[in-house]
Structure 1
Amino acid sequence: MTVTDAPGAAASGDPTPGVRIDEHAGAVLAEHAAWNEEHRRLSEHSLSALRDSGALRLLVPERVGGDELTLADMVANVREAALYDGAAAWVLMVLVGHSWMLGSMSEDLQDEVYGADLDTIVPGSLAPVGSATECEGGWLVDGRWPFTSGAVWGDWFLLGSQVLEPGERPRLIHVVMPRSDIEVDDNWYAIGLRGTGSCDVTAEQAFVPTHRMLDSGELLGARSPWSARHRTSLYHTPVLPGLAVHVAATALGLARAGLDDAADRFGVQDDRYMGTAKSRRPGLHMRLAEANAEVRSAEMLIDDTIGLLRRAAEGDDSKALRAHAKYQGSYAIELCRRALDRVTTAAGGRAVFDGSRLQQAFRDVTMASQHQVADLDTVGEAYGRTRLGMDPGPHPL
């Protein structure tokens, strides 16, 4: 039973241009989802399915041989992958997001990263928790970066750092480092998205040449001089509101998978105390109806937000637009979390065991909702201020 049917929603095998996650790739992801969960990282089979599908190339710049498609294509593929395995969808979302950001960095870096392999794996951690010291020809970088999804498979790493200069505000930069400079700390034990391998990574006095660095303001603010050197305006898209859409795409797929599993359960379970079918309960009908409306609303918010970000990329940019876009993407994540919470509460004890798709989707979307871009308090304040004609304040947009 499918309760999340939606106009324009991609189903398995949908031939829509840009959709790479087909039934074959989905079957591989589903087959290895339990292994990923148990071993706390993606299996080689899952990673190969993503690679072989071509989904890793969605936002890789065309100038190096990538597809350079759109955020809508990213959403369609990540959403589809999440129907089969939330961990695989999350890692796909992260890797596609980082290839999108590398399009704003130097052409020498793009050639270096993608010259040998368009499907190269670039995990990372955007928070500026590393430290960088300028030296001849570049930077010496130290640090420990958490939440580096897909770290064990990384070929290159995109990492945030601070340049500490006495008496001044820290200068924030992002650097790209090869696997040879990185150590992976296998410390990923979490409530959800367990199969993502989102371990800490560390580096010690790693040399980063100048062409592998970009000021964070230029990268996150879509102000890089390299962004304009592409065929499309994709790399002019503001990164932080864009990342909210990336995370929302994963949450959307998880919510749809969880609601479908809940409907299947409600359709066959009996109330052991009342001796009647659960499917006859009016309360369940209302929960499913409201949860489905929340997921549909999230999908429409994501679509609308993509339109806002397209406007920004094409030049109609402002702090108010960015606050609007980031809030809508973040609120879409919250709607998906609420929808799964609503039906999980009514699913009964048999839904709580490992192996339950609903239980796993609930845990995964709960974890996804902890991402910084989903902090509704801060982004809500920023958007609310702009609705009153005020500056959005210090919140990163």
Structure 2
Amino acid sequence: MTVTDVPDGAAANEPNGSGRDLRIDERTGAVLTEHAAWNEEHRHLAEEALSALRESGALRLLVPDRVGGDELTFADMVANVREAALYDGAAAWVLMVLVGHSWMLGSMTEELQDEVYGVDPDTIVPGSLAPVGAATECDGGWLIDGRWPFTSGAVWGNWFLLGSQVPAPGERPRLLHVVIPREDIEIDDNWYAIGLRGTGSCDVVANQAFVPTHRLIDSGDLLGGRSPWSSRHRTSVYRTPILPGLAVHVAATALGLARAGLDDAADRFGVQDDRYMGSPKSRRPGLHMRLAEANTEVRSAELLIEDTIGLLRQAADGTDSKQLRAHAKYQGSYAIELCRRALDRVTTAAGGRAAFDGSRLQQAFRDVTMASQHQVADLDTVGEAYGRTRLGMDPGAHPL
């Protein structure tokens, strides 16, 4: 039995109680597979791959209903991103980012939502959430300057969601998240990385970009769940805590990649011979144990994601707390680490041929390794916060 044969219960604890709506079918998957090598070579998604995601309806999973989106659930997001990762990690990552940003824009002003999605609910909104830009107040809004790294899908962006801060010498800066149109953004094509090569996660630059007030939100209101706009939707999904929610988004990609990589490893182990021993690799007890442990790690990650979705639903429905957020964020982050460990375990035993480009196992290993570097997967900091709550302490200064 391969990992993809294992039944899962991701619908059991999802927000809002609806069933999973799987948009990434075999037809879409075939297009993603066909262009996976092109994506890697050119370092961004092929237009055909992006079009396949658009035509599937997956881009609008968490776009608000009020602007023509589907406003579904985190469980639907996990199912679709996970499925896309079975075909191509880069496409799954870009899908995850775009769905995540449309979800976050649901907490911003209705005027902005109308402006971005009113004409096209499949509008592409890449971005970088780290507050590395500088914001200066001016008449009617703000002037934004800065360079933002890791802007996945940038080449196809119509709008960009970017983190910024208001300089305040000697004081803690005010943090803002702003939305800037493509015409005010420059793209620096500098994405050369060990994994997720096809995501086009290059730097973007803004120089004195004017942002009217309706296109920004105080980061404390956005991340702290205090946005007045998040409650003006037909569901509670936009009241889901942002940072623990983002951990689940990243974990969804890691989960699909781990499934694909382990299936490829099992296929390899089943047909390869040990050239020195003169016997099939499939007879090695060590490989049996590696596959058993790796499969169990991935299944454990799946169950952790499922449980975390339930925690996020509680928070969205009103039972929110720092303790719950620390718990949820840690579980989502730990699920990513479990997927990384599983792929590392089998890649070590897969032999030299698995190291060549074109190996699904090699690509999954690289992609999950890169995904595990995301800020939400920093187990040291989020582990400290969660561990403190287990001792009855405040989680501390770690952003939750």
The residue type equivalent to 1:77 in the other structure is: N
- For residues 184-212 of structure 1, the C-alpha deviation after alignment (integer angstroms, 9 at most, x for no partner) is 00000000000000000000000000000
3-state DSSP of counterpart to 2:124? coil
* Equivalences, count: 392
The reply on whether 1:315 has 2:318 as its aligned counterpart is: yes
Q: Does 1:159 align with 2:159?
A: no
- What's the offset of the Cα at 1:168? 2.4
Counterpart position of 1:124: 127
Whether the 8 Å CA contact 1:4–1:296 is kept in 2: the answer is no
Cα distance per residue 1:288-327 (max 9 Å; x no partner): 0000000000000000000000000011000000000000
**1:72 and 2:69 equivalent?**
no
Aligned to 1:13: none
Aligned to 1:40: 43
Report the alpha carbon displacement of residue 17 of structure 1 after superposing the two structures with TM.
Answer: 4.3
Tell me by how many angstroms 1:6 deviates: 1.9
Q: How does 1:1-397 map to 2 (within 5 A)?
A: 2-8=2-8, 17-397=20-400
Question: After the TM superposition, which parts of structure 1 deviate over 6 Å for at least 4 consecutive aligned residues?
Answer: none
Contact 1:140 1:208 in 2 (8 A): yes
Report deviation, 1:153: 0.2
Contact 2:3 2:295 in 1 (8 A): yes
* Partner deviation per Cα, 1:209-248 (whole Å, 9 max, x = no partner): 0000100011112210000100111110000000000000
Q: Is the 8 A contact 1:137 1:209 kept in 2?
A: yes
RMSD of the TM alignment (CA)?
A: 1.0
- Give the gaps of 5 or more residues in structure 2: 11-18
Taking the aligned partners of 2:196 and 2:20, their CA distance within structure 1 comes to 28
Task: Render the CA deviation track for 1:90-123: whole Å, top value 9, x for unaligned.
Answer: 0000000000000000000000001111100000
Helix, strand or coil for the counterpart of 1:190?
Answer: coil
Q: Deviations over 1:39-76 (max 9, x none)?
A: 00000010000000000000000011100000000000
TM-score (norm 2): 0.97
1:3 Cα deviation (Å)? 3.8
| Distance in 1, Cα, partners of 2:317 & 2:217 | 22
Structure-2 separation of matches of 1:81 and 1:221: 30
Q: In structure 2, what is the Cα distance between the partners aligned to 1:236 and 1:204?
A: 33
Letter in 1 for 2:53: L
Q: What is the distance in 2 between the residues matched to 1:372 and 1:68?
A: 26
Q: Could you say if the C-alpha distance between residues 218 and 163 of structure 1 is closer, same or farther in structure 2, counting changes exceeding 3 Å?
A: same
CA shift, 1:167, in A, is: 3.6
Q: 1:8 offset after TM fit, Å?
A: 3.0
Counterpart Cα distance in 2 of 1:108 and 1:33: 37
Q: Counterpart of 2:149 in structure 1: which amino acid?
A: P
1:7 CA displacement: 1.5
